[in-house]
Amino acid sequence: NAGVTQTPKFQVLKTGQSMTLQCAQDMNHEYMSWYRQDPGMGLRLIHYSVGAGITDQGEVPNGYNVSRSTTEDFPLRLLSAAPSQTSVYFCASSYSPGLIYNEQFFGPGTRLTVL
């Protein structure tokens, strides 16, 4: 199993550009989520999905879109990048939502810089 994979590892964008951060998992996990990590802020939830076709907003969703057309993939789209979106982005997945909560498996992260 590759676990959770993220591409690219690094990206530099100019203000106003759009891009998609890719996330895939091969563990058949229903639950997937995106976090951003900023210095001194910990990890903050952007969007999450409890299964294919279902997505919802987290703590800091503005400026980001997601979709979940398959169980495996959960891309994060930046429609018009802003310098405030400079961050490290982590994708995570876990077995299932519900009251029995399992550990989340994190991808290696994507370091995004917006100039």
Partner 1 sequence: AQKVTQAQTEISVVEKEDVTLDCVYETRDTTYYLFWYKQPPSGELVFLIRRNSFDEQNEISGRYSWNFQKSTSSFNFTITASQVVDSAVYFCALSEVQDGSEKLVFGKGTKLTVNP
By CB under 8 A, how many residues form the interface with partner 1? Answer: 28
* Nearest distance, CB of residue 103 and partner 1, angstroms: 4
* Nearest distance, CB of residue 88 and partner 1, angstroms: 7
Please choose, out of 12-20, 21-29, 73-81, 90-98, the segment that lies near partner 1 by the rule CB under 8 A.
90-98
The encoded tokens of residue 35 equal: 């976090």
The encoded tokens of residue 18 equal: 């759009």
* Nearest distance, CB of residue 16 and partner 1, angstroms: 28
Comparison of 17 and 97: residue with beta carbon closer to partner 1? 97
According to the binding rule CB under 8 A, does residue 27 interact with partner 1?
no
**Alpha helix (H) ranges present in the chain?**
none
| 36-41: Cβ within 8 A, 24+ apart | 36/60, 36/85, 36/87, 36/88, 36/89, 36/90, 37/87, 37/88, 37/89, 37/90, 37/109, 38/87, 38/88
According to the binding rule CB under 8 A, does residue 7 interact with partner 1?
no
- Binding positions for partner 1, rule: CB under 8 A: 31, 33, 35, 40-45, 48, 50, 56, 58-59, 88, 90, 92, 97-99, 101-106, 108-109
